[in-house]
Structure 1
Amino acid sequence: MDGRTLAPTAPGMVLGTPAPPLRRYVLGYRGYRLALREPRRRLEVPTDMVTVALAFEGTMRLTDAVSPAPATAFGSVAAGLRRTATIAEHAGVLHGLAVSLTPQGAFRAFGPLAGDLGGQWAEAGDVLGPRLRALTDRLAHAPGWPARFAMLDGYFGALFAYGPDWEPSVRWAWHHLRRTHGQVPVRTLVEGTGWSRRRLELRFREQLGVAPKQAAGILRLQHTLGVLALREDRPTGADLAALCGYYDQSHLDRSFRGMVGCSPREFLASRGTAAPLREPADRAAGRVTSAVLDAGRA
């Protein structure tokens, strides 16, 4: 299947790897068919991914984890880069799939609408356009996950073939932000691009949906989460702060709470609930994206 791999992760879930030509822009596919006896709540932390979730059955209710407000219900949803975490809840029945895109892939697929998504959720039809219903119907009636993932390969391959690309200076700045886990100063990016700070910020907002400083914060948080959750030799709070570019442990804790809505210790404890549920915590390999929450937790 053109190098594609499928990996069952838990009952009712499967991960799919896109065909090789798409892997620059598509980080992965995730299919799910859940029939649980109680609601499920997940904490979705800020990541450097744009997600499009297409629903065949069920709805998702989303609210901000840091500044809670009445939740908004979505069927199919597109989520841009967000600086604060999201609480996502469903009633227990959910059938559909999610596509994880790099920010550059989202811009190539959707053009300026990808920038408009920054910090927001939107009905996927507003991003994918009128073809969404037909695409979702075809996916829902496909004979299985391999056929669905192949269909997505074809759909996104066609979008990438003719879509716009980032400006070279935006691509260079994003590369350096990722390489340093968000620790390169914005003034260094300004000097490297030869642009003014205002122009750099404008181009980032247009093409990624967030300003360079916000993008740096997301990447630094992801690095911090990776050290906390994926490494066996977990450092102390002070060492973690120094390793991940914070002034001190207090700065780390404030920044973490401001983006995730809880302390690092509380986040790790929430992730521990995924094991007995036999549910994978993360939506993409190699990234810390989520924690499964107690359905009754306020």
Structure 2
Amino acid sequence: MSRTLLPAGAPGTVLGTPAAPLRPYVLGYRGYRLALRQPLRRLEVPTDVLTVAFAFEGTMSLTDAVSPAPAAAFGSVPAGLRRTATIAEHTGVLHGLAVSLTPQGAFRAFGPLAGELGGHWAEAGEVLGPRLRALTDRLAHAPNWPARFAMLDGYFGALFAYGPDWDPSVHWVWRQLRRSHGLVPIGTLVQGTGWSRRRLELRFREHLGLAPKQAAGILRLQHTLTVLTAAEDRPAGDRPGGDRLTGAALAARCGYYDQSHLDRSFRAMVGCSPREFLASRRTAAALPEPAGRVSDRVAGRVTSTLLNTCG
């Protein structure tokens, strides 16, 4: 477990590493305490990560970025896999902690409830029960961030010790999807499991909350974002010919028919074009702390941007 000396009341963001036995299921802890002078809006793109946010102060308003509706305000909230991006906004005052779980970890911790979270938001206490509300209170009154991370280790360690495992066939399907960045044909997955297409979809939804095709779309999007941002961050002198990665080259590399297919798919899931998404991250990177310097929530994944130019 990583430790930090930052007091619990100090502003900023603190990252915590879960205890070694939890790491197959818990990707990380993220503590935050913000006191900004103005509201902050973020675009959270689809990922293969489930998040449980524990709120100590402030609420977060959430709405779909692709099909906007009146935003709903939440305190502590478990967020399952979503195939479209989320607009998250708060007043500028926000204090809490978020836990990033793999889909397997969420199922082991919460059982079939993890599948029911797919595509939905809900107040955590209403979905996950009074034990989670009690944990939120204990976390809020802990003396520092390391103490909070230790509490989370204990809480999730106990859940994982007796929680259910994924069906082996679901695990195999997920492994094939991740290995191919979502490009393995669904027919291949049907043949590999010996299930019907309908049974595969039902079992996958029970475990992850989404159909295999939708989960594949998330993995392909994440691969696209990884390639896109890596090319953006590479110095011009390190690029062949000194040029940025073209839309056609990106599409070919990430399994889209052409650039038009890439743009349509990206906009359908994120709510803006790849060019607009990159522009938003560049603008955010130029802003002073703490409002700027967009920090992705999970190491190794592109998760966020501030809503400056995107959308």
TM-score scaled by length of structure 1: 0.95
Q: Deviations over 1:38-92 (max 9, x none)?
A: 0000000000000010100000000000000000000111110000000000000
CA distance in 2, matches of 1:106, 1:97: 17
Structure 1 residue 274: deviation in Å? 2.8
- Equivalence for 2:156: 156
- Equivalence for 1:247: 257
Amino acid at match of 2:157: G
Q: Deviations over 1:12-46 (max 9, x none)?
A: 10111111100000011100000000000000000
Q: Secondary structure at the match of 1:224?
A: helix
- Tell me which moved more, 230-239 or 107-116: 230-239
- Equivalence for 1:261: 271
- Equivalence for 2:86: 86
Cα pair 2:48 2:81 within 8 Å, conserved: yes
Structure 1 residue 122: deviation in Å? 1.2
- Equivalence for 1:288: 302
Between Structure 1 and Structure 2, how many residues are aligned? Answer: 294
CA distance in 2, matches of 1:6, 1:193: 45
CA distance in 2, matches of 1:206, 1:229: 33
Q: Secondary structure at the match of 1:273?
A: helix
For 1:224-239, what aligned pairs fall within 5 Å after superposition? 224-231=224-231, 232=234, 233=239, 234-239=244-249
Cα pair 1:110 1:127 within 8 Å, conserved: no
Unaligned runs of 5+ in 2: none
CA distance in 2, matches of 1:28, 1:227: 23
- Equivalence for 1:67: 67
For 1:24-103, what aligned pairs fall within 5 Å after superposition? 24-103=24-103
Structure 1 residue 4: deviation in Å? 3.0
- Equivalence for 2:132: 132
Structure 1 residue 297: deviation in Å? 8.7
CA distance in 2, matches of 1:217, 1:209: 14
For 1:96-245, what aligned pairs fall within 5 Å after superposition? 96-231=96-231, 232=234, 233=239, 234-245=244-255
CA distance in 2, matches of 1:80, 1:58: 21
CA distance in 2, matches of 1:228, 1:123: 34
Structure 1 residue 281: deviation in Å? 2.8
Amino acid at match of 2:73: A
Structure 1 residue 273: deviation in Å? 3.0
Q: Deviations over 1:102-149 (max 9, x none)?
A: 001000001111000111111111332111221111101111111100
Cα pair 1:61 1:73 within 8 Å, conserved: yes
CA distance in 2, matches of 1:273, 1:254: 23
Amino acid at match of 1:277: P
Amino acid at match of 2:254: C
CA gap 1:274/1:11 in 2 versus in 1, 3 angstroms: farther
Cα pair 2:11 2:35 within 8 Å, conserved: no
CA distance in 1, matches of 2:5, 2:300: 14
Cα pair 2:22 2:153 within 8 Å, conserved: yes
CA distance in 1, matches of 2:272, 2:82: 16
- Equivalence for 2:284: 274
Cα pair 1:29 1:100 within 8 Å, conserved: yes
Structure 1 residue 6: deviation in Å? 5.2
Cα pair 2:272 2:310 within 8 Å, conserved: no
Q: Secondary structure at the match of 1:73?
A: strand
Structure 1 residue 270: deviation in Å? 1.1
Amino acid at match of 2:167: E
TM-score scaled by length of structure 2: 0.91
Q: Secondary structure at the match of 1:277?
A: coil
Cα pair 2:33 2:95 within 8 Å, conserved: yes
CA distance in 2, matches of 1:222, 1:194: 28
- Equivalence for 1:22: 22
Structure 1 residue 11: deviation in Å? 5.6
